[in-house]
């Protein structure tokens, strides 16, 4: 077991610690809008100069902000967010992927919707498959996709054996498929089966859940 601390993890810890104060979090919120002189921050926060200096020093030590002199009045300085100052605040490691394959049991709803959504968020190739594919895509999946401007027409369920290839990043979107495959080394999303309930609300819930998960995952995958 590797017990050596990862420098990137330590950097993330320092940034989270720096933000674990309401005043410092407010300062960073303001700096996402633009640059501020210390006196402007004082006025905005209603804070004594010595306390503001403490908070700015803490954020600076964490690599989250920088200072530069005014080109107009050289006695004046401005505080700005450091380049990359907010990096690492979102949890999760980055992964390389040649292709993303979404898997459920029947490949008739959740996995098909996930692929259609993936195309909106990432240029990394994707595919869908089922451990026991159905004959057709569920009508409810086609309907919810159409309501949200996605097209599932012309697609048909396929077996994972037909689709899978070496180097695929597997995402199971079905508990049955995940447990049948025995955790193949990628990730699992426990999305309730809308076909089982077969209502518009169930398909809408599945779409919303998958949309959130896909948009969260896409920035954390890079093309292999």
pLDDT digits (tens, 9 = 90+) for 86-131: 888 876 667 889 999 999 999 999 999 999 999 999 999 999 999 9
- Tell me, what's the pLDDT at 220? 86
Is 30 domain-assigned? yes
> Which CATH number covers residue 74?
1.10.10.10
Selection from 135, 126, 136, 120 nearest residue 103 by Cα: 126
List the single range of 93-102, 119-128, 180-189, 199-208 with lowest mean pLDDT: 180-189
Phi-psi region of 95 (alpha: psi -120 to 50; beta: other; left: phi over 0): beta
Q: Which domain holds residue 194?
A: 95-223
Q: Residue 212 belongs to a domain with what CATH number?
A: 3.40.50.2300
pLDDT of residue 1: 46
The CA distance from 205 to 139, in Å, is 15
State residue 106's pLDDT score: 97
> Residue 175 belongs to what H/E stretch?
helix 175-181
Domains contained in the chain, number: 2
Query: 110 and 175 share a domain?
Result: yes
Residue where one domain finishes, among candidates 55, 81, 107:
81
Q: Are residues 41 and 120 in the same domain?
A: no
What letter would DSSP give residue 91?
-
- 44-73 pLDDT, tens digit per residue, is 999 999 999 999 999 999 999 999 999 899
Torsional class of 217: left (φ above 0), alpha (ψ -120 to 50), beta (otherwise): alpha
Residue 214 lies in a domain: yes
């Amino acid at each position: 077991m590797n017990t050596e601390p990862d420098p990137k993890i330590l950097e993330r810890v320092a940034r989270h610690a720096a933000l674990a104060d309401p005043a410092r979090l407010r300062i960073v919120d303001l700096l996402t809008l633009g640059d501020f002189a210390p006196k402007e921050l004082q006025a905005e926060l209603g804070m004594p100069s010595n306390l503001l200096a403490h908070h700015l020093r803490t954020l600076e030590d964490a690599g989250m902000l920088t200072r530069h002199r005014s080109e107009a009045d050289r006695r004046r300085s401005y505080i700005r967010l450091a380049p990359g100052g907010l990096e690492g605040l979102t949890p999760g490691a980055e992964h390389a992927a040649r292709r993303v394959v979404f898997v459920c049991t029947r490949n008739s709803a959740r996995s098909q919707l996930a692929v259609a959504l993936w195309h909106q968020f990432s240029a990394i190739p994707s595919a869908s498959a089922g451990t026991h594919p159905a004959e057709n895509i569920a009508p409810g999946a086609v309907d919810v996709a159409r309501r949200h401007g996605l097209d599932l027409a012309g697609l048909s369920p396929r077996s994972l054996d037909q689709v899978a290839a070496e180097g695929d990043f597997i995402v199971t979107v079905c508990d049955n498929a995940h447990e049948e495959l025995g955790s193949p080394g990628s990730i699992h999303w426990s999305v309730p089966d809308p076909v089982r309930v077969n209502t518009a609300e169930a398909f809408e819930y599945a779409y919303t859940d998958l949309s959130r998960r896909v948009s969260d995952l896409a920035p954390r995958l890079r093309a292999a």
